[in-house]
Amino acid sequence: MSPEKHPSANNTYETERLILRPMSREDKDFVFELYNRPKFIQHIGNRNVNTIEDAENYILNRFAPQIERLGYGNYLLVTKEGSEKVGAVGIFEREGLDIVDIGYSLLEEFEGKGYAFEAAQKVKSIGMDDFGLTKISAIISKDNISSQKLIEKLGLKFKKHVILPGETEELNYYETE
């Protein structure tokens, strides 16, 4: 028998312009599209989501277990106006990091509108205020200047460079004070 779902596992949140809801198998087409965008692969990495089935498995095996266990995880970003799926934001347990990290990605056509900051600010507050996290980290590729600025605007400070297990790229590591 599997452990009970965390009571917050199905929570949906809102910001001024966005609805954040837990990623589910119904989002497999969106995950497939997002994870295969050149910018996603460049800045976040190739997650080997090569088919719609891979996307569904990624959601079921990577996203669902964490949110069911901890109550927070990866959220789909949907605009209140127009109900467009624009990206994802989440707080993740990541091998090689002692502190959960915040991450986000948007389809390029929705960048530059403040959605990523709006969503990341909400998820940071969910993690710290609702779940009592005392620290949140972020890892960002050295060439992703816009993400570095967003994370600093969120109140995280650059601490050091890290290389995650099984990876070769040195990343900038940020942490809340």
Question: Collapsing DSSP states into helix, strand and coil, what is residue 78?
Answer: strand
Q: CA neighbours within 13 Å on the CB side: how many for 96?
A: 13
pLDDT digits (tens, 9 = 90+) for 120-170: 999 999 999 999 999 999 999 999 999 999 999 999 999 999 999 988 999
pTM over 0.85: yes
pLDDT digits (tens, 9 = 90+) for 38-65: 999 998 888 999 999 999 999 999 999 9
- One DSSP character per residue, 150-176 reads HHHHTTEEEEEEE--TT----EEEEEE
Mean pLDDT value across residues 74-85? 97
- Average pLDDT taken over every residue of the chain: 95
- 1 pLDDT more than 60: no
Partners of 161 in the beta sheet? Answer: 172
